[in-house]
Structure 1
Amino acid sequence: MTEIAKDKKRLGLVGLFKEVFNWYPSEYPAAERKLLFKLDVSILVFACLCFFVKFLDQTNISNAYTSGMQEDFGLYGNQLNYLNVCYYTAYVIFQIPGMLLMSRPKLARWLLPTLEVLWGIVTFTHSRTTNIHQVYALRFLVGMLEAPVFAGTHFILGSWYGGNELFKRAGTWFVCNALGSMVSGYLQAAAYTNLSGVGGMAGWRWLFIIDGIFTIPVAFLGYVIFPGVPDSPRPFHLTADDIALAKERLVRFKVRRPGPLTADVFKRTIKRWHIWVFVFCYICMICSGYPLSYMNLWLKSEHYSVVQINKLPTVINGINIVASWLGTTLAAIYPSWIIYTVVESCCIFSTICMIIWDIPTGLKFFAWYLYGVAGCASPILYSAVNTIVRDDSEERALILGSMMTFGYSFNIWVPLLVFPTAGHYGAPRWRRGWPFILAFFFLLWSGFVTSVWLHRRDQRRKAAQAVVESESEGSSADGEAAIVAVEEPKV
């Protein structure tokens, strides 16, 4: 065991607190700490703002539905599910093409800002719709334009950061998922209270205008500061020495830079276990996570006020923010499968409460809010992919895109069958839905633990092979093993 590993095992509460906030390790040279700061300011600032407005938009449609759209358009069937189907169909179709484009250095720097400008324009257009069919079409366009954002940002993070750095940045970035959802609730409550009737428009229409106002400036900021990947055209704030150091870091973390995009990428990817296990994990995550953002439907069925319907679910988002940041940070310090076990156990407990259903109102609120701890599940999973598949940039991009494609393809049809909006099996009781997601929470945990076990098996085989090769060359096996242990990012 290396000295670094021993130090981590000896961490007390004070040491753990310091490690949580240790983003710029003192053992790094000054130039490397400065580079990390520049990357945080450019990549994380844009990525967080981009992700914030993306989830602001995704949550807006549900908040608009429960805040007047349903009544204005006479929607009393499964139209909310159909809106999501339109969005996720486009999201699925354009996922892998978008990710493969993201892996191209010349496009990586400009793709996300350009898509954001376009979806900002489409977001504005939502406010002028006159019937549900127009909203269906706009949701399809937004899904198409937002497709590469989530997995693409994980790919960008994995192209600059490595090891424990990656987990911490991914968790901080994912905070903006919950933050966007939380702000959407407060914005809709404010719009309903203060803007209803202004300009002759309902409050829910103003929500899309506000969203568009947020989106366009973020896109233009991206054109200025977003660096793409290390082989992309150099932005003004990174010097030639910064880029050279960034590429040296990739060698240290064993992250392979982009190569030719050929048919061999698909052949070698399907021959390895990575894509099969990680796609399975993400399918389970999508299937188990669908109803977690619909606490507002339960509140509406209990006849809470419109303001309460928009504000009370934001507690889930607040817990999600803390969990996204703290959970991924702890996963950078301790074995990630332990953090995953805690998270999935909490979700399983909440789901059992929902299956029983006839429980005290306070316990039901607790169960809804406890789902917030699932905030770190996705960034830990994606950070694991970036870490485990760091030696093949094209395979990594294909896996990240495939996870989104196949995962969200289930969002096209599963909600219609398992999570209908109306009827005996409809929201929020979901007599079939809650048992359904209970199974998938368990399968998600099983899949993630399996991926960790398979990776460690592969590393043991590589280490054994390295020892044999070093012995055949007359080298010190212990020295070689120590180097491997020091350089190997933890999962």
Structure 2
Amino acid sequence: MAKGEQKARPALWGAIKEVFNWYPSEYPSEERKLLFKLDVSILVFACLCFFVKFLDQTNITNAYVSGLKEDFGLYGNELNYFNICYYTAYVVFQVPGLLLMSRPKLARWLLPTLEILWGVCTFAQSRVTNVHQLYALRFLVGMFEAPVFAGTHFILGSWYSGPELFKRAGTWFVCNPLGTMVSGYLQAAAYTNLSGVAGMPGWRWLFIIDGIFTIPVALIGFLIFPGIPDSPPPFFLSKRDIEIAKERIKRANIRRPGRLGVDVFKRSLRRWHIYVFLFCYACMILSSYPSGYMSLWLKAEGYPVTKVNQIPTGIYGITIVSSWLGTTLASIYPSWIIYTIISACSLFSTLCMSIWNIPTGLKFFAWFLFGVSGCASPILYSTVNTIVKDDSEERALIMGSMMTFGYSFNIWVPLLLFPTAGPDGAPRWRKGWPTTFVFYFLLWAGFITSIVLYRRDRRKNSRFGGEASSSEAESEAGEGVRTPELDGEERIVVESTNK
């Protein structure tokens, strides 16, 4: 080859080293320093923000099984209604939030401001006197949290590319299960140590504790969160840092934000990306819904409240490891292989739950194995960032639409397939578990379809002399930027011309 040589995928030791290789030696020193600054600023705030988001999102389930149900006499589908209120707002405000996130002047301040607002709502949930107030507050929390997940993926995809992106997306996603995991321990501690303090039950203290976590994180965001490269820079990023960042995104063919208009929708609807990725995310949301309710099974089995809150945290511990390791391996090996392994584990667990009458030990194993699916989401979103990097507005629209489309099903499907009460209710779900099996399979099929279509587009651009594609390949080769193996082809590893 003219500019480099083809290199086989790394052996086991090489792969292990690559897992921890966040600042490649072939990068110029200035670029490595910039990456470190971005990691400290973006990842620190994004991880803390995501952590408290999932504390505040999932605390309702922990409160429900720790006394809220009995205090308010909630013996119907109220837990589902709490989630419906949350996800209705979450759906409605996704696309507007993501499109605002693509605006440089707003990108730096939007997430910290929203976090202040949902922190106030979290505090307010500790003082509710009836279930209707709780419905309203869950709606507000969902509205303010709407852009956090997809918006952070958008921010990451605006600064990073290739294996950098996959590794950081996986590390950031760790805070999803970590927040849920810690929420379980916090509720167990609140139930044990704070019940009756100041005349309040432990579940009310959980909301107060979560609010105390939330507000300081928002204040940190105002100081260190950089937004996107075209946003007003925070104090620690010099003019030269911003120049290097813009050179990097130009080199990786990541298109900077342009005019926001109706044409964004027109050109997005003409391409396959939005349809395939919306389908994938809807399947992901619906398939993952029941795996988060191990606590309901434990409660039905007669476990004490502290164990009901603590035992499910094992799932989130597995999710933490798989989120970090799986996304890193997807940046080294073909991502479709990693996704196939994830899907096989999820299908096995769902099959066990569909059968249901199995040994208790196997049922525990199946519950915990669901944790392996934790890396499915960051891999999918990193794939979107990589495939749609040539259009910033389309990328924001797709990511917001994925959340909107996926969670719009989460508003009503659980009422049909995953009712809390009744003969087919939680955690047996006679209809829900078999349907979940189908959704897991369709998710895998949709992801493979995206890889096949991406390979087709690359071959077509290459065959017909697509200048943008050729320029991208030349730029990536000449600058030493490595791309993830989305299509299973071997990388071209070359010496950087910047050295």
Identify whether the pair has TM-score above 0.5, normalized to the shorter chain.
Answer: yes
Offset at 1:76? Answer: 0.4
Structure 1 unaligned spans of 5+: none
**Displacement after TM superposition at 1:480 (Å):** 9.3
The CA deviation at 1:467 is 7.9
Q: What is the Cα deviation at residue 435 of structure 1?
A: 0.5
Contact persistence 1:185–1:311 (CA under 8 A): yes
- Aligned counterparts of 1:484 and 1:53: Cα–Cα separation in 2: 38
- Could you say which residue in structure 1 is the equivalent of 2:13? 14
* 1:59-458 paired onto structure 2 within 5 Å: 59-458=58-457
Deviation of the 1:327 alpha carbon: 0.2
Distance (Å, rounded) in 2 between the aligned partners of 1:486 and 1:37? 17
Q: Residue 461 of structure 1: SS of its match in structure 2?
A: helix
1:14 Cα offset (Å)? 1.5
- 2:50 is the alignment partner of 1:51: yes
Contact 2:331-2:484 at 8 Å conserved across structures: no
Shift of 1:466: 2.9
For residue 91 of structure 2, what is the amino acid of its counterpart?
V
CA contact (8 A) 2:3 2:478 kept: no
Cα offset for 1:316? 0.1
Quote the offset at 1:465 in angstroms: 2.5
8 Å Cα contact 1:467/1:480 also seen in 2:
no
Query: Residue type matched to 1:460 in 2?
Result: R
**AA matched with 2:205:** W
Cα contact 2:330–2:484 (8 A) shared by 1: no
The 1-side partners of 2:54 and 2:344 are apart by 26
Whichever residue aligns with residue 65 of structure 2, its letter is T
Q: Residues 298 and 260 from structure 1, CA distance in 2 versus in 1: closer, same or farther, beyond 3 angstroms?
A: same
Query: Would the aligned equivalents of 1:89 and 1:143 in 2 still touch at CA under 8 Å?
Result: yes
Q: Which residue of 2 aligns with 1:466?
A: 465
Shift in CA distance, 481/113, structure 1 to aligned 2, threshold 3 Å: closer
Q: 1:483 to 1:436 in 2, by over 3 A?
A: same
Q: Secondary structure at the match of 1:127?
A: helix
- Are the aligned partners of 1:2 and 1:485 in contact in 2 as well (CA < 8 Å)? no
Identity %: 72
Q: Which residue of 1 aligns with 2:489?
A: none
Distance 1:361 1:33, change over 3 A: same
Structure 2 unmatched runs, 5+: 487-499
2:125/2:137 contact within 8 Å kept: yes
CA contact (8 A) 2:108 2:226 kept: yes
Question: Aligned residue for 2:485?
Answer: 490
Query: 1:31 maps to which residue?
Result: 30
Distance 2:476 2:54 in 1: 44
Q: Look up the SS of the partner of 1:255 in the other structure.
A: coil
| Aligned mates of 1:489, 1:373 — CA distance in 2 | 21
Q: Give a deviation string over 1:179-203, Cα, whole Å, max 9, x none.
A: 0000000000000000000010000
2-side partners of 1:20 and 1:64: how far apart?
38
Question: Counterpart of 2:465 in 1: which secondary structure?
Answer: helix
> Does the 8 Å contact 2:88/2:139 carry over to 1?
yes
Residues 97-139 of structure 1: CA distance to partner in whole angstroms, max 9, x if unpaired?
0000000000000000000000000000000011111100000
Count the aligned residue pairs: 485
Distance 1:5 1:312, change over 3 A: farther
Q: Hey, what's the Cα distance between the residues in 2 that align with 1:3 and 1:326?
A: 31
Q: 1:351 to 1:238 in 2, by over 3 A?
A: same
CA displacement, residues 337-371 of structure 1 (integer Å, 9 cap, x when unaligned): 10000001000000000011000000000000000
Conservation of the 8 A alpha-carbon contact between 2:462 and 2:469: no
Could you say what the CA RMSD is over the residues aligned between the two structures, in angstroms?
Answer: 2.0
What displacement does 1:488 show? 4.9
Deviations 1:17-46 (A, max 9, x none): 100000000000000000000000000000
Corresponding residue SS for 2:289: helix
Instruction: Give the TM-score of the pair, scaled to structure 1.
Output: 0.96
CA contact (8 A) 2:424 2:430 kept: yes
Instruction: State the one-letter code of the partner of 1:74.
Output: G
Residues 332, 484 of structure 2: 8 Å contact kept: no
Matched residues in 1 for 2:191 and 2:151: separation? 34
The residue identity in structure 2 corresponding to 1:330 is L
- Aligned-residue offset at 1:336: 0.5
Task: Give the CA deviation at 1:470.
Answer: 12
Tell me the amino acid that sits aligned with residue 135 of structure 2.
Y
Give the distance between the partners of 1:35 and 1:482, measured in 2 at CA: 21
Kept in 1, the 8 Å contact 2:162–2:481? The answer is no
Given that residues 466 and 480 in structure 1 are in contact (C-alpha distance below 8 angstroms), is that contact kept between their aligned partners in structure 2?
no
The one-letter amino acid of 1:296's match is S
Q: Quick check: 1:253–1:488 contact (8 Å CA) kept in 2?
A: no
Shift of 1:485: 10
**CA contact under 8 A between 1:4 and 1:486: conserved in structure 2?**
no
Q: 1:282 to 1:250 in 2, by over 3 A?
A: same
Partners of 1:157 and 1:316 lie apart in 2 by 26
SS of residue matched to 1:466: coil
Three-state SS of the structure 2 residue aligned to 1:413 is helix
The separation in 1 between residues aligned to 2:104 and 2:456, in whole angstroms, is 33
Distance (Å, rounded) in 2 between the aligned partners of 1:5 and 1:135: 61
The amino acid across from 1:70 in the alignment is K
What is the deviation of 1:463?
1.6
Structure 1 counterpart of 2:382, one-letter code: S
Q: 1:485 to 1:26 in 2, by over 3 A?
A: closer
User: CA deviation digits over 1:262-293, x for unaligned, max 9?
Assistant: 11100000000000000000000011011111
Instruction: Say if 1:318 and 1:372, in contact at 8 Å, map to a contact too.
Output: yes
Match of 2:490 in 1: none
- From the superposition, tell whether residues 481 and 30 of structure 1 become closer, same or farther in structure 2 (CA, over 3 Å): closer
Given that 1:48 and 1:173 are in contact with CA atoms closer than 8 Å, whether structure 2 keeps it comes out as: yes
Contact 1:316 1:369 in 2 (8 A): yes
Separation of aligned partners in 1, 2:251 and 2:138: 43
- Name the aligned partner's letter for residue 426 of structure 1: G
User: Using a 3 Å threshold, how does the CA distance of structure 1 residues 479 and 317 change in structure 2: closer, same or farther?
Assistant: closer
Task: Tell me by how many angstroms 1:490 deviates.
Answer: 3.4
**Does the 8 Å contact 1:2/1:486 carry over to 2?**
no
CA distance in 1, matches of 2:202, 2:4: 55
